[in-house]
Structure 1
Amino acid sequence: MRAATILLSVCGCLILWGCNLTQSQPAVKVGAHVLLDKHLGELEDKRVGLVMNPTARVGGSHMLDTLLARDINVTALFAPEHGFRGDVGAGETIEDGIDQSTGLPVFSLYGKTRTPSPEMLKKVDILLFDIQDVGARFYTYNATLGNIIEAAAAQDIPVWILDRPNPAGDIISGWMIQNKHRSFVGKYPIPMVHGMTLGELAKMMVGEQWIENAGQATVRVIPMEGWNRSMKWPETGLTWIPPSPNLPSFYHAYVYLGTVLFEGTTMSEGRGTNDPFLRIGSPETKLTTSHIAKLRRQFSGVNIERRSFTPKAIPGKASNPKFEGERCHGIAIRVTNPDAFNPVVLGAELLSTLRDATPEASLNDYMPKLSGIDNSLLQEQLKKELYLKNWEETAQEFKEQRRQYLLYE
């Protein structure tokens, strides 16, 4: 068995390549852009498989179209959760098929299998992974990435990760997952929010041997240029392309890091509205003025108002939302300064407050997969406000563990 190989492209000055780029260049050049500028020749005479979704864009063009236009021999497409074109709702099964625009085969990684089979990889010499993440353990793209690396290593196929920003920057927050609660929405021993890019996380998966065949894996990260850990999405200058249907803006994705916890309750997390994860409540919720006043005292950089809403089925976004057609009472959230608050702490405090205002509400079996801990422990930590100390200790330990895998200052 040969030793694991981690390759990192050397950053340097770029010569802009005319691939439908806008005149005003963003502050950050994503890994896909760097690939087009510097490494495209290395793909000549290779059969290339793509693990991508609609976020795999440079200068307004999807990487699939750009690579084909540059005569790269793309032979297979692989679809994560939400699909290669991003038109499938959360948790909905994806079937194998044909990409209508190109006629290329599309293999599902969110259906009967979540790992590429040897047959799927039969006509592939190299895999390019290019997906925008949100920086959360429970966001399934990191699990898909690990599965890709495992399967490719078994077939001696290198994986190139075209790195993209962590939209939330360097926030590390939330509980570390307990082994008994591991699942596809919590596959690796990392906090709820990990503060890493997928390229960095891939290096850690291999280095810590969290994945099978780690010793055989060849992983190459094509890093970004111009990105640093302190940046949140608005500072990158990049256009936001929803990484999944219910995260239409950066602000939805940022608050989602905490309000995702409401998916583990009988309350609505806002699916079926125009502002999922920014609308929280239920028909039974009875918020008082004091509830809202307390939240406003606790958090700056975010406006929290009492608001009613009625979830409706939205094709491709929410086929069967909680309380469909029922009037829900709760809150509306609006971000004014993402640097001023921790979205995971916000989610925990909102959970505590809205449960107090909704005695009928309860936690469900999905909560341990999201939080990573038992429901009884979660309730105890929220009630006694012990979670902040727990999260701080977890963050410090993880920060040290991940140090050797970081690519950016």
Structure 2
Amino acid sequence: MKQHVISGIILLAYILFTGCGTTTQTSPQEVVVGTGLTDSYLPQLENKNVGLVVNQTSVIDSVHLIDYLFNKGVAIKGIYAPEHGYKGNVERGEHVDGTTDPETGIPVYSLYGKYRKPTPEMLEGIDVMIFDMQDVGVRFFTYINTMTRVMEASAENGIKVIVLDRPNPLGYYVDGPVLKPGFESGIGLYPIPVIHGMTVGEYAKMVNSEGWLKDGIQCDLEVVKMENYTHETKYQLPVLPSPNLADMKSVYLYPSICLFEGADVNEGRGTDTPFQVFGAPYYTPKDFSYIPKSIPVLALHPKFEGETCYGYDLSETPMAELQNIKQLEIKYLIDFYNKSDDKENFFTPFFDKLAGSDQLRKQIIAGLSEEEIRESWQADLDSFKEMRKKYLLY
């Protein structure tokens, strides 16, 4: 049967992504991800109708999980597609359409369009839901929200959830403001910091046991643990997790630079190095410049399209230096705000959703220092870290 291969621009990104490591990184072959531990979950799928929450990262070596299970005779009754689609070829924020997988004829249901949570009709006849996607450990990276919505819907419909765990490439630190009540959104559902330091399996256990699902409901959850992984593992992702995380440098910088998506700054979308360069026409000094352009799948009509932007180029930062980052960098945000020629419109409403509250925005406007802002996070971070301990598997 024809395999689900990553084609075109996604294949090119895959090649770049797997080639960007250094000798200090742990090879992905040394870590056995949950998907590879087939003896732990295949027996549970016998004579069951199965749903798969997957994307282009859901592979066993070079074989997609859809193909692997299909060839094993597993009765796959539905594929549930997150942001960017189940093949990873849909631009950020664009709705994903439901369709039918051309190789297998399996129905594909969108969880990033009209519905963000599976409906009872989508789940009809399903006995077991499998979640297998590569997360990057950041609150506003939407795959964990897709997972918890699937958990909630599965609990409401008596369906077991099996999470095939994968490494968190930023799992060695926790930082940033914790989401506050009233600021829940599609990019943040629960009170966790921007960088949470948990694998998807650990996070699923937290959400389930802390009663965060609707009405405190709990799902029948099983996490297939990895082998040879710890939270200090510098894991190089073998497959591109989303179109604009072009390589591991983008992954390491993503939590901090993505905050610009809620500000009057281009975050590198519309370039070959998203989240590694960032700038705006008004910024000084003008030592570095670039011009954002529309790129299919990656960035259609990015901020300041066709305009010369001045700012920072972090693309040449040594990998070892990026791996030593253990905090959410807000110095760039403060710098651009201070140099903005339209401070009243510098922040967009989206910024508070990214930050998890209106506090960070108000602190920057008030002129608080980076140190003062960080200090304001500490009590919430300490409480979260204490809670997190209960759910760590590695």
Q: TM-score range by the shorter chain?
A: 0.7 to 0.9
2:267 counterpart of 1:311: no
2:27 counterpart of 1:29: no
2:214 counterpart of 1:205: no
Aligned equivalents of 1:247, 1:384: Cα separation in 2? 27
Q: Report the counterpart of residue 19 of structure 1 in structure 2.
A: none
Q: Report the counterpart of residue 88 of structure 2 in structure 1.
A: 86
Matching residue's letter, 1:356: N
Tell me by how many angstroms 1:169 deviates: 2.0
CA contact (8 A) 2:270 2:298 kept: yes
Q: Which of 194, 197, 217 matches 2:196?
A: 194
Helix, strand or coil: the match of 2:103? coil
Q: Report the counterpart of residue 261 of structure 2 in structure 1.
A: 263
Matching residue's letter, 2:161: V
Q: How does 1:7-156 map to 2 (within 5 A)?
A: 26-34=29-37, 36-156=38-158
Q: Report the counterpart of residue 163 of structure 2 in structure 1.
A: 161
2:371 counterpart of 1:385: yes
2:389 counterpart of 1:400: no
Tell me by how many angstroms 1:389 deviates: 1.5
Aligned equivalents of 1:25, 1:243: Cα separation in 2? 14
Aligned equivalents of 1:219, 1:181: Cα separation in 2? 27
Q: Report the counterpart of residue 217 of structure 1 in structure 2.
A: 219
Q: Report the counterpart of residue 351 of structure 2 in structure 1.
A: 367
2:306 counterpart of 1:331: no
CA 120–275 in structure 1, closer or farther in 2 if over 3 Å, else same: same
Q: Report the counterpart of residue 339 of structure 2 in structure 1.
A: 357
CA 216–349 in structure 1, closer or farther in 2 if over 3 Å, else same: closer
Tell me by how many angstroms 1:381 deviates: 6.7
CA 271–384 in structure 1, closer or farther in 2 if over 3 Å, else same: closer
When the two chains are superposed, the root-mean-square deviation of aligned CA atoms in Å is 1.7
Q: Report the counterpart of residue 274 of structure 1 in structure 2.
A: 272
TM-score by length of 2: 0.88
CA contact (8 A) 1:256 1:343 kept: no
Identity of aligned residues (%): 39
Q: How does 1:285-324 map to 2 (within 5 A)?
A: 285-287=283-285, 306-324=287-305
CA contact (8 A) 1:80 1:108 kept: yes
Aligned equivalents of 1:397, 1:189: Cα separation in 2? 11
Helix, strand or coil: the match of 1:174? strand
Tell me by how many angstroms 1:154 deviates: 0.9
Matching residue's letter, 1:391: W
Aligned equivalents of 2:341, 2:41: Cα separation in 1? 58
Matching residue's letter, 2:159: I
Q: Once the two structures are superposed, what CA deviation does each residue of 1:121-170 show, in whole Å capped at 9, x if it has no partner?
A: 01311000001101011111111111101100111000000000011122
CA contact (8 A) 1:80 1:141 kept: yes
Q: Report the counterpart of residue 300 of structure 1 in structure 2.
A: none
Deviates more, 1:204-213 or 1:145-154: 204-213
Aligned equivalents of 1:357, 1:27: Cα separation in 2? 46
Aligned equivalents of 1:120, 1:179: Cα separation in 2? 30
Q: Once the two structures are superposed, what CA deviation does each residue of 1:51-74 show, in whole Å capped at 9, x if it has no partner?
A: 011011121111111111111111
Q: Once the two structures are superposed, what CA deviation does each residue of 1:358-390 show, in whole Å capped at 9, x if it has no partner?
A: 333511111100011212134337546312222
CA contact (8 A) 1:150 1:214 kept: no
Matching residue's letter, 1:30: V
CA 317–384 in structure 1, closer or farther in 2 if over 3 Å, else same: closer
Q: Report the counterpart of residue 247 of structure 2 in structure 1.
A: 249
Matching residue's letter, 1:90: R
Q: Report the counterpart of residue 293 of structure 1 in structure 2.
A: none
Q: Once the two structures are superposed, what CA deviation does each residue of 1:258-290 show, in whole Å capped at 9, x if it has no partner?
A: 1111111011011010111111101111127xx
Aligned equivalents of 1:394, 1:25: Cα separation in 2? 33
CA contact (8 A) 1:78 1:108 kept: yes
2:286 counterpart of 1:284: no
Q: How many residues align?
A: 361
Tell me by how many angstroms 1:38 deviates: 3.5
Tell me by how many angstroms 1:393 deviates: 3.2
Matching residue's letter, 2:35: A
